[in-house]
């Protein structure tokens, strides 16, 4: 499995050097994380802490007729029991859905749906108490896949849900929450011009983010009425706001303290345990901790949709794509809100098309309410789109990278949903793929195949804040509110250090709670290094300006005659006037007082990211087992602030994609039960299943960011499933149209050939 390398496995194609940005310092929370000292959600302890446990519905679809908690309350050691009746009632639509998802009110809409919760003296007592709660269910027929749910005879989940059909509300209940369309040009005419037209259908199954740390939260509803929450979350402000909405209290009444988080990938943005722990704490007057089991995580949080797609692409013999039609239907889970919208924005993004049409359907099913999973919606769409692209390229006899190059989206290309691309690095990604040693290495055995695919993610901006204070010894402290899932304390501190011309080690970042920093949006959406980094950049500029003003005051010169370079303030005209950052810092106290800098930003110059994969596979035709022989990820990061952590995002996303491609799925029984509800049978890749993941970071600076940053976290998960499908097709001569492409499916494809 090991490949010998005569090339550099991880490369940064950089054309802009900085002092700190672009280097690879050690992360500031490193000592805590390699010694077990770092405190994650379940590690939190407090005096008087009670343990909670949640009762979850065994039925995928049922009306809840009554809940009898008396036996649970009577059990020795139990201190409180709550149901949705303990929430403030009222409201409609999304507010109710969010509240109902946390604790079901009139209906259980998926197996695993939380029904009630207990606080007790120990986790084992709480677990026993939960088993004593008696619920009278009227069991209903479930529907658990998108195509069945769209049919007229499907069991209806919400009597009040009527399809928003291209902006018009329908008049009868449906499981289709909405249908939207993006239209560009005239696809009918475009297909007529094509020499080759290929149309294929694809399905994908529900998969989970698979973070190793289950959700955990502790709540204390204090005697002064303030609610304190300690939790693992991707967004302490998002958690605060969600709890405020569900508990119907002002946000100022809540303080969320983010603990370290053991993986999220989008799945720890929504709240599940926090409002429940809050209710229990309100009843008991003590802190209450809830920690999910792995089964709870798989059944009671937010996986990503199963989906159906139909893609039709037409092209001329010279390689020009003349039309593309993407039909995407995605499962929202129990309540509306699948990521089909995002998928629709990305499926055709790599292509400069004159004629394109995207239909998107958001469909509810009796499964957990879906949540974001790393570029949500886009991998499902790419599994489909990038395979049809591959087939069209083959049909006209063109190299798959050349075909993509011929139709490449670039600056000025108008996307099907409206916006025009600013400067993007897609062509550069394709060039790096084409010239990579991997793409030019021979395959050396039977049943081997190579596949390529690309993907795009738009990335987001939104609000971040940052405070910086100067210490008398010339170091600075930096407070920010972005929970650190992948090394962002470092990338944020590095941007501040760059502005202040300080070495990285002189910036001490901390992630603080919602009482201690301005509003900061989630650590997700590939925004953290971009937006919170920008806040750090602005706060550092604020400090820099104030320090220069102070030097000007001390030297009695104009501020605009002073510059800061290599941590030294000096006069542009008088070489005698010079002092180090540390020297000035030491004088602040007696020259007017300390200096702090602050910023609250919501930057608009977001840069999208293109990624590409090259993968070699070997298939055992008798067993269908697919071995990944070699994997290369190429991605435009704009500017890799900390290249090691950018590589880490690329490698991690690639491996999640590999698991999605080859094995991961919710194996659903007819009754709507997930049979494989453990990490034994929900099969994520182990170290033995993989080779090294080689990376090439392309840097086409995002003109909208001071250092050119483009978000990197999400794009990597988009190309793997189609790249692997394309590789398998080249290995065995048959294409697979359903995920996962597990051994049974591949063996069957070989046998059916």
Partner 1 sequence: MPGKTYVQTNINGEHVDFLCEPRQSLLECLRDVIGLTGTKEGCNDGNCGACTVEMDGRIVTSCLVLGVEAEGKEITTIEGIADGSTLHPIQQSFLENAALQCGICTPGFIVASKSLLDQNPDPTEHEIRFWLANNLCRCTGYDKIIRAVQDAAVKMQEA
Partner 2 sequence: MKWIDYATPHSVREAVDVLSEAGGRARVMAGGTDLLVALRAGVYDIDLVVDGKNIPELNEITYDPTNGLTLGAAVPCYKIYGNKAVATAYPGLIDAASLIGGTQIQGRASLGGNLCNATPSADTIPPMIALKGTANIAGPNGNRQVAIEDFCTGVRQNALGSDEILVSLHLPAPVANSGANYIRFIPRNEMDIAVAGAGVSVVLDNGDIKEARVSLASVAPTPLFVQEAGDAIAGKPANDETVRIASGIARDAARPITDMRGTIEFRQHLCEVLTRRALNTAIERAKENN
Among 685, 708, 716, 719, binds partner 2 (CB under 8 A): 685
For partner 2, give the closer residue by CB, 591 or 623. Answer: 623
User: Please, what is the minimum distance in Å from the beta carbon of residue 217 to partner 2?
Assistant: 23
Report the alpha-carbon distance of residue 662 to residue 658 in Å, rounded.
6
Binding mask 720-749 for partner 2 (x = CB under 8 A): ----------------------xxx--xx-
For partner 1, give the closer residue by CB, 376 or 704. Answer: 376
Please count the helices (runs of H) and the strands (runs of E) in the chain: 19, 29
> Which residues, at least 6 apart from 295, have a Cβ–Cβ distance to it below 8 Å?
112, 677, 678
The interface partner of residue 742, options being partner 1, partner 2, none and the CB cut-off 5 to 8 Å by kind, is: partner 2
By the rule CB under 8 A, 683 interacts with partner 2: yes
For partner 2, give the closer residue by CB, 299 or 320. Answer: 299
By the rule CB under 8 A, 124 interacts with partner 1: yes
Binding mask 687-726 for partner 2 (x = CB under 8 A): -xx-------------------------------------
Other C-beta atoms within 10 Å of 386: how many?
29
DSSP 532: I
From first CA to last CA, the distance across the chain in angstroms is 28
User: Please, what is the minimum distance in Å from the beta carbon of residue 686 to partner 1?
Assistant: 4
By the rule CB under 8 A, 294 interacts with partner 1: yes
User: Please, what is the minimum distance in Å from the beta carbon of residue 682 to partner 2?
Assistant: 10
Q: Is 208 helix (H, G, I), strand (E, B) or coil?
A: coil
- Tokens 């740390």: give the residue: 213
Report the alpha-carbon distance of residue 349 to residue 417 in Å, rounded.
9
- The answer to whether the bond into 740 is cis (omega within 30° of 0) is yes
DSSP letter string, 219-281: EEE-TTS-EEEEE--S-HHHHHHHHHHHHT--GGGEEEEE-B-S--TTTTSS-SSHHHHHHHH
Stretch that binds partner 1, among 169-177, 387-395, 594-602, 653-661 (CB under 8 A): 653-661
By the rule CB under 8 A, 166 interacts with partner 1: no
Nearest Cα neighbor of 424 from 611, 614, 613, 652 is 611
Q: In the window 649-678, what residues touch partner 2 (CB under 8 A)?
A: 662-663, 667, 675-676
Quote the crossing angle between the two packed helices 533-555 and 488-500, to the nearest 10°.
Answer: 30
Among 31, 85, 170, 472, binds partner 1 (CB under 8 A): 31
By the rule CB under 8 A, 212 interacts with partner 1: yes
Among 58, 155, 185, 263, binds partner 1 (CB under 8 A): 263
By the rule CB under 8 A, 337 interacts with partner 1: no
By the rule CB under 8 A, 625 interacts with partner 1: no
Among 22, 112, 142, 214, binds partner 1 (CB under 8 A): 214
By the rule CB under 8 A, 189 interacts with partner 1: no
User: Please, what is the minimum distance in Å from the beta carbon of residue 742 to partner 2?
Assistant: 6
For partner 1, give the closer residue by CB, 122 or 591. Answer: 122
By the rule CB under 8 A, 681 interacts with partner 2: yes
Report the alpha-carbon distance of residue 611 to residue 50 in Å, rounded.
47
Q: In the window 486-515, what residues touch partner 1 (CB under 8 A)?
A: 486-487
Classify residue 73 as exposed, middle or buried by CB count within 10 Å of its CB (0-12, 13-18, 19+): middle
For partner 1, give the closer residue by CB, 124 or 316. Answer: 124
Among 645, 660, 666, 707, binds partner 1 (CB under 8 A): 645
Stretch that binds partner 1, among 261-269, 302-310, 440-448, 700-708 (CB under 8 A): 261-269
CA angle 637, 641, 643 (to 5 degrees): 75
Among 16, 122, 435, 623, binds partner 2 (CB under 8 A): 623
The interface partner of residue 622, options being partner 2, partner 1, none and the CB cut-off 5 to 8 Å by kind, is: partner 2
DSSP letter string, 404-425: HHHTB--TTPBPTTSPBP-S--
Backbone angles phi, psi at 528, to 5 degrees: -70, -55
Contact assessment for residue 430 and residue 393, using Cβ atoms and an 8 Å cutoff: no
By the rule CB under 8 A, 666 interacts with partner 1: no
User: Please, what is the minimum distance in Å from the beta carbon of residue 684 to partner 2?
Assistant: 9
User: Please, what is the minimum distance in Å from the beta carbon of residue 24 to partner 2?
Assistant: 31
Among 128, 145, 386, 616, binds partner 2 (CB under 8 A): 128
| HSE, side-chain direction, 13 A CA sphere, residue 544 | 23
Beta strands per DSSP E along 40-195 = 50-56, 62-68, 78-83, 107-108, 114-120, 134-139, 162-165, 168-173, 176-184
User: Please, what is the minimum distance in Å from the beta carbon of residue 676 to partner 2?
Assistant: 5
What's the Cα-to-Cα distance from 341 to each of 101, 181, 330, 529, rounded to whole Å?
22, 10, 9, 24
> Which residues, at least 6 apart from 129, have a Cβ–Cβ distance to it below 8 Å?
53, 72, 75, 77, 78, 81, 118, 120
By the rule CB under 8 A, 414 interacts with partner 2: no
Classify residue 345 as exposed, middle or buried by CB count within 10 Å of its CB (0-12, 13-18, 19+): buried
Among 6, 15, 17, 34, binds partner 1 (CB under 8 A): 34
Among 152, 420, 688, 752, binds partner 1 (CB under 8 A): 688
Classify residue 152 as exposed, middle or buried by CB count within 10 Å of its CB (0-12, 13-18, 19+): exposed
b/e per residue 612-646 (b: at least 16 CB within 10 A): bbbbbbbbebeebebbbbbbbbbbbbbbbbbbebb
Number of residues that bind partner 1 (CB under 8 A): 61
Among 656, 663, 702, 726, binds partner 1 (CB under 8 A): 656
User: Please, what is the minimum distance in Å from the beta carbon of residue 625 to partner 2?
Assistant: 7
For partner 2, give the closer residue by CB, 571 or 676. Answer: 676
User: Please, what is the minimum distance in Å from the beta carbon of residue 209 to partner 1?
Assistant: 8
By the rule CB under 8 A, 602 interacts with partner 2: no
For partner 1, give the closer residue by CB, 107 or 289. Answer: 289
Binding site for partner 1 (CB under 8 A): 1-2, 24, 26-27, 29-31, 33-40, 42-43, 45, 123-124, 209-214, 260-265, 291, 293-294, 485-487, 644-645, 647-649, 651-656, 678-680, 684-688, 690, 692-693
Binding site for partner 2 (CB under 8 A): 124, 127-128, 622-623, 625, 662-663, 667, 675-676, 680-681, 683, 685-686, 688-689, 742-744, 747-748, 751
């Amino acid at each position: 499995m090991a490949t010998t390398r005569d090339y550099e496995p991880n490369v940064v194609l950089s054309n802009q050097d900085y002092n700190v940005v672009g280097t690879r310092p050690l992360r500031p929370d490193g000592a805590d994380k390699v010694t077990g000292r770092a405190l994650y959600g379940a590690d939190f302890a407090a005096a008087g802490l009670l343990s909670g446990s949640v009762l979850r519905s065994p039925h995928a679809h049922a009306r809840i007729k009554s809940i009898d908690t008396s036996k649970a309350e009577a059990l020795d050691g139990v201190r409180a029991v709550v149901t949705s009746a303990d929430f403030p009632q009222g409201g409609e639509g999304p507010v109710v859905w969010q509240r109902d998802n946390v604790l079901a009110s009139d209906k259980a809409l998926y197996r695993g749906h939380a029904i009630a919760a207990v606080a007790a003296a120990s986790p084992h007592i709480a677990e026993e108490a939960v088993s004593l709660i008696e619920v009278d269910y009227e069991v209903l027929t479930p529907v658990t896949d998108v195509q069945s749910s769209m049919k007229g005879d499907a069991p209806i989940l919400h009597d009040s849900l009527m399809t928003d059909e291209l902006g018009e509300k329908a008049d009868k209940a449906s499981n289709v929450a909405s249908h939207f369309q993006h239209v560009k040009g005239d696809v009918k005419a475009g297909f007529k011009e094509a020499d080759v037209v290929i149309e294929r259908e694809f399905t994908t199954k529900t998969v989970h983010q698979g973070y190793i740390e289950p959700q955990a939260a502790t709540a204390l509803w204090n005697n002064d009425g303030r609610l304190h929450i300690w939790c693992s979350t991707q967004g302490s402000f998002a958690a605060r706001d969600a709890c405020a909405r569900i508990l119907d209290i002002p946000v100022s009444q809540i303080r969320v303290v983010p603990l370290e988080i053991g993986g999220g990938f989008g799945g720890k943005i929504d709240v599940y345990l926090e409002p429940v722990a809050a209710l229990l704490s309100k009843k008991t007057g003590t802190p209450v901790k809830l920690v999910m089991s792995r089964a709870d995580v798989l059944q009671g949080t937010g996986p990503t949709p199963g989906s159906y797609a139909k893609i039709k692409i037409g092209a001329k013999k010279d390689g020009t794509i003349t039309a593309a039609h993407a039909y995407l239907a995605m499962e929202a889970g129990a309540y509306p809100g699948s990521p089909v919208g995002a998928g629709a924005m990305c499926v055709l993004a790599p292509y400069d098309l004159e004629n394109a049409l995207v239909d998107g359907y958001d469909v509810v099913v009796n499964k957990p309410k879906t949540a974001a999973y790393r570029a949500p919606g886009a991998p499902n769409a790419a599994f489909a789109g990038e395979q049809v692209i591959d087939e069209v390229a083959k049909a006209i006899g063109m190299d798959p990278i050349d075909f993509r190059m011929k139709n490449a989206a670039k600056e000025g290309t108008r996307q099907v949903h409206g916006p025009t691309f600013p400067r993007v690095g897609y062509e550069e990604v394709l060039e790096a793929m084409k010239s990579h040693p991997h793409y030019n290495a021979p395959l050396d055995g039977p049943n081997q195949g190579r596949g390529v695919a690309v993907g795009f993610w738009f990335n987001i901006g939104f609000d971040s804040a940052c405070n910086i204070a100067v210490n008398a010894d010339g170091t600075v402290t930096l407070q920010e509110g972005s929970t650190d899932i992948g090394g962002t304390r470092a990338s944020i501190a590095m941007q501040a250090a760059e502005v202040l011309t300080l070495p990285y080690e002189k910036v001490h970042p901390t992630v603080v709670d919602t009482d201690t920093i301005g509003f900061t949006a989630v650590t997700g959406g590939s925004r953290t290094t971009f937006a919170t980094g920008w806040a750090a950049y602005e706060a550092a500029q604020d400090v820099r300006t104030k320090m220069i003003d102070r030097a000007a005051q001390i030297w009695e010169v104009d501020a605009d005659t002073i510059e800061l370079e290599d941590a030294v303030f000096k006069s542009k005209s008088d070489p005698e006037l010079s002092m180090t950052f540390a020297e000035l810092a030491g004088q602040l106290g007696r020259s007017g007082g300390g200096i702090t800098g602050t910023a609250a930003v919501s930057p608009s110059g977001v840069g999208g990211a293109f990624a590409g994969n090259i993968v070699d596979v070997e298939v055992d035709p008798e067993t269908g087992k697919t071995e990944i022989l070699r994997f290369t990820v190429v991605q435009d990061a704009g500017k890799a602030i900390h290249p090691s952590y950018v590589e880490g995002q690329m490698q991690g996303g690639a491996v999640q994609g590999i698991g999605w491609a080859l094995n991961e799925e919710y194996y659903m029984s007819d009754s709507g039960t997930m049979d494989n509800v453990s990490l034994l049978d929900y099969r994520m890749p182990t170290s033995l299943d993989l080779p090294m993941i080689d990376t090439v970071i392309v840097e086409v600076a995002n003109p909208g960011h001071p250092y050119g940053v483009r978000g990197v976290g999400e794009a990597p998960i988009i190309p793997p499933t189609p790249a692997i499908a394309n590789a398998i097709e080249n290995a065995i001569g048959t294409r697979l149209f359903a995920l996962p492409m597990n051994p049974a499916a591949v063996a069957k494809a070989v046998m059916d050939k």
